[in-house]
Structure 1
Amino acid sequence: MPNWFIEWYASEALTQLFWIITLAGAPFWLMMILLPSNPHTRRLCSPFLAPPLFSLGLIYLYYQLWTVGLPDAPTGLTYSDQASVATHPVVLLILWLHTQILNLFLGETLFADARRHKLAIPVELIFCWFFGPIGLLAYGLRLLVTKPFRKR
């Protein structure tokens, strides 16, 4: 099925799905940033709880991609050829959900490690939420700076 037809036929559903994907992780991020010592936060913000649940959405999107038709395979190895695959509306949603899942997994892993080190890391979590690995870089720098000055 051509991309323009999918976008024309399902533009409202695609937009809603984009916003659902974008906002689905927000409760976890807000709990980690605003309520880090809450026992519910510690229980719910595990790297092996929410990201695997969100992966069910990824399986659903793969199913949708299968039903609407797979994008044309790239014809070459150039950037333009490969980028043309990402213009398919469902592929774009798959890539966006994949990014959100990885960012949330990374953020929850940093959150668990920071709890172990008894650190509050709201800035690093915000960076991780919006910029992914930049939050990991910020957290690593913070550990380098604070680790020598902590008592064991």
Structure 2
Amino acid sequence: MTESLFSLTFLLAAPFWALMILLPGWSWTRRVVSSPLIVLPIVAIYALLIIPDFGTVLSAVSSPTLDGVSELLGSPAGAAAGWAHMIAFDLFVGRWSWLDSRDRGVPALVMAPILLLTIMLGPLGLAAYLAVRPLGKAAAAVRESRLAGEETKGAAAAAAAADADADADADAGGGGGGGGAKAAAPPERTRDLG
């Protein structure tokens, strides 16, 4: 059973990693990954692995020594529990990094190798994301200022076009006098209904 649970651990996490790395822009990816519950199946495997030896595990982690932790992880059940522990936390950290990166505007092509690093060497993946995290917010601020600049330019261009149309109308209605009063609109024709 221990070997089956060991094998199942990463298989349960893999679909979520695939969504974040391969389909980061798909609307369902955010819906699925937004839930912190995606780690629960792996947490359940961890619980199944440690509950039979809970007393041993508790004493090893409550007063940790190198020998005690080595002994705990040296058994197949201990190694499988350690693996489930790592996979659950790596997925949770990867999920947080991915969600935060989407909010900050970190490009998916930057995040893909960071997420792969998080899968393989969790803390280094977290460190890599924390290093690029400020750049995402800075890039988002630059994009927002560009958009604001484009909106300002667009409004100025629309105002200039309206002024040009008004001048053209004035020139056409004012006999070419340039800048004259705008010609009055012809009276509306009404039908006598009486």
- TM-score bin (small chain): 0.7 to 0.9
| Offset at residue 77 of structure 1 (A) | 7.0
Aligned counterpart in structure 2 of residue 138 of structure 1, from 128, 139, 149: 128
- Structure 1, 76-85 or 134-143: larger mean CA deviation: 76-85
**1:114 aligned residue:** 101
| Offset at residue 118 of structure 1 (A) | 2.1
Per-residue Cα deviation, 1:19-76 (whole angstroms, up to 9, x for no partner): 111322111101100000111111111351211332122222223446xx957x67x9
User: Bigger relative contact order, structure 1 or 2, given CA contacts below 8 A and separation 6+?
Assistant: 1
Q: Relative to 1, partners in 2 of residues 1:124 and 1:83: Cα closer, same or farther, differing over 3 Å? A: same
Q: Secondary structure at the match of 1:137?
A: helix
Tell me the amino acid that sits aligned with residue 86 of structure 2: T
TM-score (norm 1): 0.75
**How many pairs does the alignment contain?**
136
Q: Relative to 1, partners in 2 of residues 1:86 and 1:48: Cα closer, same or farther, differing over 3 Å? A: same
Mapped to 1, the partners of 2:69 and 2:130 lie a distance apart of: 33
Q: Relative to 1, partners in 2 of residues 1:26 and 1:122: Cα closer, same or farther, differing over 3 Å? A: same
Percent identity between matched residues is 27
- Unaligned runs of 5+ residues in structure 1 are 1-12
**2:116 aligned residue:** 126
**2:75 aligned residue:** 88
Tell me the amino acid that sits aligned with residue 50 of structure 2: Y
| Offset at residue 78 of structure 1 (A) | 5.3
CA contact (8 A) 1:55 1:101 kept: yes
- Unaligned runs of 5+ residues in structure 2 are 145-194
CA RMSD of aligned residues (A): 2.5
TM-score (norm 2): 0.61
Mapped to 2, the partners of 1:41 and 1:126 lie a distance apart of: 17
Aligned counterpart in structure 2 of residue 62 of structure 1, from 50, 54, 60: 50
